[in-house]
Structure 1
Amino acid sequence: MERPYWEATLESRLVVQRCDTCGGWQWGPEWICHKCLSWDMKWKEVTPRGRIYSFERVWHPVHPALKGHTPFLAVLVELPDAGNVRMLGNLLGDPMQQVQIGSEVIAEYEHHNEAGSPYALVHWRVVRGD
Structure 2
Amino acid sequence: MNAATPDIDDFTRPYWDAAAEGRMLIRRCGTCGRAHHYPREFCPHCWSEDTAWERASGRATLYTWSVVHRNDLPPFDARTPYTAAVVDLAEGPRMMTEIVECAEVDLRIGMELEVAFREEDGEGATVPVFRPAPRISGPARRSGA
Tell me if both proteins adopt one fold, taking TM over 0.5 as the criterion. Answer: yes
Moved more, 88-97 or 3-12: 88-97
Structure 2-normalised TM-score? 0.77
What is the identity percentage for the equivalent residue pairs of Structure 1 and Structure 2?
26
Distance in 2, Cα, partners of 1:78 & 1:22: 19
1:17 to 2:23 alignment: no
Structure 1-normalised TM-score? 0.85
SS at match of 2:52: strand
More strand by share: 1
Q: Indicate the residue corresponding to 2:93 in structure 1.
A: 85
Q: Indicate the residue corresponding to 1:105 in structure 2.
A: 113
Distance in 1, Cα, partners of 2:105 & 2:127: 21
Question: By how many angstroms is 1:128 displaced?
Answer: 4.0
Taking a change above 3 Å as real, the CA distance of residues 87 and 103 of structure 1, as seen in their structure-2 partners, is same
Alignment partner for residue 56 of structure 2, among 46, 57, 61? 46
Alignment of 1:28-39 (within 5 A): 28-39=38-49
Q: Indicate the residue corresponding to 1:120 in structure 2.
A: 126
Report the number of matched residues.
126
State which structure, 1 or 2, has the greater radius of gyration over its C-alpha atoms: 2
| Cα RMSD after superposing both structures | 1.9
SS at match of 1:64: coil
Distance in 2, Cα, partners of 1:63 & 1:21: 40
Per-residue CA deviation, residues 10-49 of structure 1 (Å, 9 max, x unaligned), is: 1100110111122111111222112222111111001011
SS at match of 2:78: coil
1:64 to 2:96 alignment: no
Conserved in 2, the CA contact under 8 Å of 1:19 and 1:33? yes
| Structure 2 gap segments, 5+ residues each | 1-10, 138-145
